Amino acid sequence: MEDADGGRFNESAYAWLEIDPERCNKCGICVDMCPMDVLHFGRKGYPYMRYRDDCWYCDVCTFMCPRQAITMTELPYLIS
Amino acid sequence: MYHIKQADIVIIGGGAAGSMAAIYAHRTDPNLRIAVLDKSKLETSGAAGRGMDGLNNMAIPPASEPEDLVQFYTLITEGVLDQEASYEFAKRCPRAVADLEEIMNRKKGDLFPVDEKGNYQLIDMHGIGKPFLLPMDGEEMKRAMAQAVRSTGAAVYDRTPAIKIVTVDNRVAGVLGFNIRNGEYYFFKTKAVCMTAGCAGRMGLGNSGYLAGTYEFPGCSGDGHAMAYDAGAELVNMECFQLSAKLKDHMGPICGFVAGPRGARTVNRVGEKSWIHPYSSGDSRLGVWKSYAEGKDPLFMNMDHLPEGNVKVIEKILFGTERTSRRLFHKNRGQDYRRPKSVEVEFSDDISICGGHNSSGVLSDCNGATCVPGLYVAGDVDGGVPHSMLGGAIAMGSLIGLRAAQYAANADMASIDGLKHWIHDEIETFEAPLKRDRGLPTHLVETKARSRILYYLKPPKNPDRLNIALWWMERIRREDLPRIKAADYHDLLKAHEIKSILLVGEMMAGASLFRDESRWGYFHWRLDIPEKKPDWEGCWVVTRKGVNGIEYVKRNVPPYKWDFSTSMEYKYPELSFDAGMPPAKPSPKRLEDGDSWTLGHIEKEGMDTPKRFMPKREG
């Protein structure tokens, strides 16, 4: 498991993927499967959108999560 | 840190074409050492990471024969194609279907529809009276392919884009790649390369300004074209741009191939059909452009006239496959397929170069072989088989896996002199953006490059715009690339991708200038020469590396085997109108004989502007 990089990445910055800590068991499938390398583990072991602006809104993360812990709330850059 | 490895075949890009190449190379010779380098993650990478709802442009007898598909290709490429290569693909379509059923472990009739006789049911929507579209329930396709690749024992390097192909005596000798998560480099000594790195999909810039909001998978940034060019391969049809129709502001296609056959109508605001041809060819795009030019935009995909059952079918397919975030997009916008004018259609600004959707890319023959011994191409990077779509990626990906394996069996591993020094120097150059203390952020440079490409290359084209585009590509390369600051390895890939974008952009502008005619409807519409010229019939613009940079050559396509029509029915518009005359009198008073007042200021002040910060007031 990797840690966020020395404060350079703001884990609490606005993101359109919501991770439910009650459901997420930190298995890392979403981090592993994200095709654009957007998702990484944060300090507490939960995934977050480290490279948020590379998200293609492909929906892989929400679909692949076995615990339905990820919700895509909106598509802001696609002017939804 | 770098590692030197050996592989008989290196596959660059693990999308559908690359995955099939790996599977077929292994089937051909299970003892081969195969390495698959994927910029992304094999299970989800490429254009079909969330699967696909159909195999398009397929010839599946008895519904459609290989010759029928060649007839269609000859028409939509307006004769600028290698018919033999297209025929080779068309013959392999049934095998591609059978392969997918096997790889995905799905029974006949489950993955693709079949009729009561067991024949595949294709949809006829290509306008020549033959069906080429085979619907598919294929959400898991890419993951199933990845599973099949991994089960061959191939060494899969996820998050590891290739950055350079090395040749010795003009044949393939090695590939350098690096891992974007840990910064480790890998050099593969190899005999053969299957180049399946996808299209150049990050060329223009969508009107949202969002760099990753592309119609094509944003990982496909033309690196394959750039690497193949650098290795000595030829490219064709780089002047034949792809401009896609997609959902307004969303990155997804309008999916006319899903909604159209089920009754949806794409019309302009006054209800006219904008598509000239039912297929997304250049004549159709000219029709779309016409709607905009006549002020009849926006365009809409209407489904309000359809029975509820049809709408549900369309939603089931579109919300579950390929670009599934469209469901949320529609919801947040309050769009509903059941209402008229609810779904707005966009004429995409993210111009791309794509052999799957169009006909441009690295030139290959009927075996997927390029002019560089050991280098094979398939999928969206391939310009040898036009409009090959996903079916082509699967069929031709398989073929190049087979051919590369046969080649590797008879080839020696080339000896590379001074390899360690070369790797060291290459890494040092490559990592320069990472080592700078400060510099231009990658996203700003990419925005600059892509906005210039959009502004100066979007058809209709004219030579002045194209020349300015060339000037910009060179200027950004000269001034901005040496100043890019990459924040980390993930960002270093962006810096590398910008180089590919600039090179492909230069090829697009240069080839567009070289083909001094218009062709393929909107895709290569030269305002200064708005007609097809007889001396360009059946000719490619071949783009290749010359002594002094990119060179362009006119070359006849291979002789036709079939005498099919090469002419689509459209006409380039004459663009002129009377904007009125200036008033005859009084004529504007001009200062053509000199401006004595300003000249007096120059005499007093020189050319510098006086710094009168505030008017000086006495007392």
**CATH code, domain carrying A57:** 3.30.70.20
3-state secondary structure of B399: helix
What confidence tens digit (pLDDT) does each residue in B508-538 have?
999 999 999 999 999 999 999 999 999 999 9
Residue B284 is which amino acid?
Answer: S
Alpha-carbon span A48 to A13, nearest angstrom: 9
Alpha-carbon span B101 to B384, nearest angstrom: 26
Verify whether the Cβ–Cβ distance B211 to A58 is below 8 Å.
no
Beta bridge partners of B134: B55
Q: Are B56 and B388 in contact (CB under 8 A)?
A: no
The pLDDT value recorded for residue B612 is 84
pLDDT > 60? residue A6? no
Verify whether the Cβ–Cβ distance A60 to B44 is below 8 Å.
yes
Residue B192 is which amino acid?
Answer: A
- More confident of the two residues A56 and B257: A56
What confidence tens digit (pLDDT) does each residue in B171-226 have?
999 999 999 999 999 999 999 999 999 999 999 998 888 999 999 999 999 999 99
Question: Residues B341-362: what's their mean pLDDT?
Answer: 91
Distance of CA B570 to the CA centre of its chain: 24
Q: The tokens of B78 are what?
A: 């307006």
B293: contact with A, CB 8 A cutoff: no
**B2-51+79-110+140-198+354-420 domain in CATH 3.50.50.60?**
yes
Q: Length of chain A, please? A: 80
Chain A interface, best mutation among B332, B349, B350, B493, by max A CB count within 10 A: B332
Average pLDDT, chain B: 95
Question: Residues B571-582: what's their mean pLDDT?
Answer: 86
Verify whether the Cβ–Cβ distance B332 to A51 is below 8 Å.
no
Measured between beta carbons, the chain B residues lying within 8 angstroms of A74 are: 328, 332
Please list the residue range(s) of chain B that carry CATH number 1.20.58.100. 433-556
The pLDDT value recorded for residue B82 is 98
What confidence tens digit (pLDDT) does each residue in B316-345 have?
999 999 999 999 999 999 999 999 998 898
Verify whether the Cβ–Cβ distance A78 to B250 is below 8 Å.
yes
Question: What's the domain count of chain A?
Answer: 1
Alpha-carbon span B386 to B369, nearest angstrom: 15
pLDDT > 50? residue A2? no
Verify whether the Cβ–Cβ distance A35 to B333 is below 8 Å.
no
What would the CATH number be for the domain defined by B245-347?
3.90.700.10
The pLDDT value recorded for residue A4 is 44
pLDDT > 90? residue A26? yes
Q: Quick check: is A25 in a domain?
A: yes
Alpha-carbon span B188 to B32, nearest angstrom: 14
- Packing angle, helices B83-91 and B66-76, rounded to 10: 140
User: Which of B180, B213, B333 minimises the CB distance to A37?
Assistant: B180
Q: Are B493 and B161 in contact (CB under 8 A)?
A: yes
Closest residue in B to A71 (Cα–Cα):
B328
How many of the other CB atoms lie within 10 Å of CB of B296? 16
Please list the residue range(s) of chain B that carry CATH number 3.90.700.10. 245-347
pLDDT > 70? residue B256? yes
Q: Quick check: is A36 in a domain?
A: yes
Pick the CATH number of B433-556 from 1.50.40.10, 1.10.150.110, 1.20.58.100, 3.40.50.1970: 1.20.58.100
Residue for token digits 């000798």?
B173
- B252-256, B330-334, B368-372, B398-402: which range is least confident on average? B252-256
The pLDDT value recorded for residue A8 is 75
User: Using 50, 70 and 90 to split pLDDT, how confident is the model at A1?
Assistant: very low
Residue for token digits 């991708």?
B497
Q: Are B541 and B237 in contact (CB under 8 A)?
A: yes
Whole-model pTM: value is 0.96
B44: contact with A, CB 8 A cutoff: yes
What confidence tens digit (pLDDT) does each residue in B434-490 have?
999 999 999 999 999 999 999 999 999 999 999 999 999 999 999 999 999 999 999
> ipTM of this complex > 0.85?
yes
Alpha-carbon span B377 to B367, nearest angstrom: 9
Please list the residue range(s) of chain B that carry CATH number 3.50.50.60. 2-51+79-110+140-198+354-420
The pLDDT value recorded for residue B318 is 94
Question: Residues B233-240: what's their mean pLDDT?
Answer: 98
Residue for token digits 């919801």?
B331
What confidence tens digit (pLDDT) does each residue in B401-433 have?
999 999 999 999 999 999 999 999 999 999 999
Question: Residues B255-266: what's their mean pLDDT?
Answer: 88
Question: Residue B470: left if φ>0, alpha if ψ -120 to 50, beta else—which one?
Answer: alpha
The pLDDT value recorded for residue B579 is 86
Verify whether the Cβ–Cβ distance B249 to A80 is below 8 Å.
yes
Q: The tokens of B575 are what?
A: 């663009």
B324: contact with A, CB 8 A cutoff: yes
Percent of chain B with pLDDT over 70: 99
Between β-strands B343-347 and B245-247, what pairing exists: parallel, antiparallel or unpaired?
antiparallel
Domain span at residue A62 reads 17-71
What confidence tens digit (pLDDT) does each residue in B130-150 have?
999 999 999 999 999 999 999
Q: Are A36 and A60 in contact (CB under 8 A)?
A: no
The pLDDT value recorded for residue B586 is 66
Tally C-beta pairs within 8 A across A and B.
Answer: 86
Between β-strands B185-195 and B235-236, what pairing exists: parallel, antiparallel or unpaired?
unpaired
B325: contact with A, CB 8 A cutoff: yes
User: Which of A33, A51, A79 minimises the CB distance to B208?
Assistant: A79
